[in-house]
Structure 1
Amino acid sequence: MANDFDSNITRKLTRSFLNAFESNRVLSKNVNTQFLSNAFNPSTGDTVDIKRPTDYKSSRTSDGDISSGTAGSIITGKASGVVQDYFTVELDWAEADEAIKMDQLDQLIAPAATRIVTDLEVDFANFMRENTGLLAGTYGTAVTTWDDVAQAGAVMSSSGIPADQDWMYAVNPFTQTSLASNQRSLGAGGSAGGLISEAHRKAILSDDFAGMKVMTATTLSSATSHSVADRVGALASNPDVTYATAKDTMTQTLAVSGFGNNLQIRAGEVIQITGRNRLNLNTRQPIIDAAGVNVVFTATVTTAVTLSGTGTGNIVITGPAIFEAAGAYNTVDSAPVSTDVVTLLGAASTIYQPNLFWHKQAFSIGSVPIKKLFSTDTLGTTKDGLQIRVSKGASIRENKQIVRFDLRPAYGVLNPFFAGQGWG
């Protein structure tokens, strides 16, 4: 029987790929990552659900008699992870075989790994931008000082985000130039460890500033606002402000009117509702800023929409405005109602690229198990659970042999109130 080294070859390719893949990760190193073994099957479709934590209201009595009250309801919500498309790089096998023989495998494989990491992080950064629930600074104003960065830390603290895990802040590389003029903490570098990639180490500007790990990211996403100038309207009806409605998606639909005709609202843009103020999600008390005034409620548009020829339509936001009498999950100090002024922040025909800040448990990347195509395929998994399939095979139609690398992620928003857009 002839010798067969195919299985060993795909293992060599996998080792080389994983090393390069790990060394180029930045954003994906700083969110919840996991291998979703047994989470998906024909009955689940393309979605897997994760239970959200519950909360309750306490009561105060002088004698301990609570008979006049009612027991708090147990309301459980879920966060959904949705399977994304495959990220695939295909190489001609002859090139891979030659690289192995010439001991140049790393030089061949590294660009393939870099391409998948880059495409993954660009796609995921856009997902993050479109699913943040908080806002720090003035929308559209560039971050130029460390004080601007610290503002995001203040927003996270005052919003009641727990400090049980890392808080992160990602900036555009040109923002790093502005911050460098302050000569504070640049180049602090990351801590050593097997899960810290080379790109991640180089990206870190400060390991701990205002409670956050501050880093540069070249993959932050942007969008250009529509040319219609009239970006102020009003609620056309009272929105549903119950937690029971929002608990599974953490989104809310706002019926609006009075905006510019045919205004196109991009996913990731931010709206503000005048007269409705944010609550600390831990204390459920109003958030007061440095000037001693309430922080007005804002939310991020999750789904692009074009309003009608009369400026009416439905806007879907994340980070919903919840208000119930004695509610345990309230996010605002009063319920938004019909005729409340709604402003789409920013100006017309302007490109916006916000910095991002988040708690590690704000978002999740789950790696979906990929079936082997042949017995000689190799499945490699990073230490934090992202799985890569390496396959070698033949294309009968094209009369050639190929090797392919595949990753299939699932993205999830665990809590939009744990993340925000950062401005100056």
Structure 2
Amino acid sequence: MKALFTLAAMPLLTAAASGDPVEAVSERELRAGVERLVGFGTRHTLSSQTDARRGIGAARRWAEARFRRISKDCRGCLQIALPEKMVSGDRIPAPVRLVDVVAIQRGTERPGEVVIIQGHIDSRASGAMDAESDAPGANDNASGTAAVIEAARVLSKQRYPSTIVYAVLSGEEQGLYGGALLAEWVKAQGWTVKAVLNNDIIGGSRGSDGKVDDATVRVFSEGPRADATPEITANQRRRGGENDSPSRNLSRFVDVLADRAKVGLDVRQIWRTDRFGRGGDHLPMLAAGIPAIRLSVGIEDYDHQHQDLRTENGRKYGDTIDEMDFAYLARVTRLNVAALDHLARAPMPPASTVEGAVKPDTTLAWTAVPGAAKYIVRWRETDANQWRHAVELPGTATGHVLTGVRVDDWVFGVSSVSGEGVESPVASAVPGGAFAPINP
């Protein structure tokens, strides 16, 4: 066996491509985007789709126009798509036309491998069905929409082996309809999705109790997979894997990335699919078996989300732009850009298996992935968060024996590394650990 390395010694991350897109993120551009979105008055899913100045239709057309302008600046590097369907439900009493706005930056080598950044554009006031009152939705979620568009602006200047998809979603506040529509549409494209970064409420640093946290961003990830079959669940109970879904490993990856990329934020991994009793547009992706995480502020301000604009007893309510922290929003956007830049250059995480019951050695096997110049076998104690040990192997390898490492005491996984040294997230060698739907 080759020499072992600690995680800190491993070259997990490389510098971004020439003309560093992380440094190109503009706080001014983000502010302009949020101001424009707030200016539509309300972006409620049931608001006007035809008014030129107010409502969801005007906001959606503005996002489309921004993507088309960015594409013009990069000589047509973005393909614009407008997935749509008629939807109805508990918060949509009569069928309404739902449209997502999607920009596709095709990969140059493996266009079927995709990483997605998304945020919902719709807003709401106190009443979930109130489509008439002003609902500026500055932090929830003009912040996420502005981050998606800014990511497209800076990353479109680069070229990547894999495809990047920038998605502005509708209908989140009415029941995650835009996320479900995108999940369906992505499946219809036949893509293999490495990761979804869902950005929802990422532009504030002060809580409703006055507490300030401008140094951390929360990353939510599922434990047991939403698409797990009874067989997978039973195997996890016997062999482990409840803490090693692709989503959880994507969270680990972003945590390490934030430190290495020096974006000015610390990731707080929240081992929960979303905030307690609440949800976002990454949930339909997870239900479809697609690795997805949610990025959100370190501390929420409940007075300034899902609230009518008003003042009561001297206390202001409403999701207004003056409650935003644009320096913080820029840092979260830089983290997204760093993750997209890295994921779009890395190969797919290889699906792997592990054996070693009643033996002193552990044997791993994995499926070779396109673009891999080498593989890294990683392992950690069962109660450890991050990977602690590793061994590098050539790109021709599809298996390895860890002599003297007993399978009972560790969790194992494998990552792939591109020819330029960019490493993928780790795919754990557990039931349901592969970065692919269990039932495609």
Larger Rg: 1
Bin of the TM-score, shorter chain as denominator length: under 0.3
Ranked by relative contact order (alpha carbons within 8 Å, sequence separation 6 or more), the top structure is 1
Normalising by structure 1, report the TM-score: 0.24
TM-score, L = length of structure 2: 0.24
